[in-house]
Amino acid sequence: MKRRTLDLLFSIGGLGLAVLLLVVGIVLTTNANFANTYVHDQLAAQHITFKPADKLTDEEKKSDCLREYAGKAMTTGKQAECYANEFIGLHLKAMSGGKTYAELGGPETALKQQVAEAEKTNAANLADLQKQLAEASALRETVFKGESLRGMLLTSYGFSEFGRKAEQGALAMYLGAALLLLLSIAGLVHAFRTPASETFAAPDKAREPINA
């Protein structure tokens, strides 16, 4: 095969791959921009603001991100993760003793049964049991709302991470496309500088024996 032909084939193939990588990079960039914009708009619409630095409790001050975002409006996935885990999670744990909404259902159900039995017998501690049930129900309802908000914020964070990964993938595609483009250009230059008669890996001609 002619060396020039081989160079042209590799160069054209490289240009095709460069274009393909460029298209993939553009698609990933579009997805990343959509994810970032969507997360920003959804979080901004909630009008959630971090507590100012001078209002943070001693426990809250232990969180690096709560100190970093103090007083700022929540608009990014990383901020949503911080608020969900370091702020809401902290207060939910303090309120419920670390128990989840599902785990709080057992004590609430037990109190309901006790109240029902006390109402049948008109027990002296009925009012106290009703008060305990009201407090348990209110706590469980608060935990449910907190866990729901926390889950939505973490979902926004996860969506933003897809956007970040897409940005990284797009960068890799652009770098790959640029490298292939440079190599293809170098191949084309080499092809046109190579004599048309030059062959690639041509077998050596057998030497004729020399008669003495």
Question: What is residue 143's predicted lDDT score, i.e. its pLDDT?
Answer: 94
What would the two tokens of residue 205 be? 């001609």
Residue 166, pLDDT > 90, answer: yes
Q: pLDDT tens digits, residue range 36-48?
A: 999 999 999 999 9
SS3 category, 49: strand
Place of tokens 């004729």: 208
pLDDT band, residue 211 (cuts 50/70/90) = low
Please name which of 36, 40, 66 lies closest in space to residue 53, comparing C-alpha atoms: 66
Cα–Cα distance measured from residue 138 to residue 88, given in angstroms and rounded to the nearest whole number: 17
Q: pLDDT tens digits, residue range 110-147?
A: 999 999 999 888 888 889 999 999 999 999 999 999 99
Cα–Cα distance measured from residue 86 to residue 151, given in angstroms and rounded to the nearest whole number: 13
pLDDT band, residue 150 (cuts 50/70/90) = very high
Question: What is residue 11's predicted lDDT score, i.e. its pLDDT?
Answer: 81
Q: How far is CA 129 from CA 71, 115, 116, 125, 133, in A?
A: 42, 6, 10, 6, 6
pLDDT band, residue 204 (cuts 50/70/90) = low
pLDDT (mean) for 35-60: 94
Please name which of 187, 162, 168 lies closest in space to residue 17, comparing C-alpha atoms: 187
Cα–Cα distance measured from residue 95 to residue 114, given in angstroms and rounded to the nearest whole number: 23
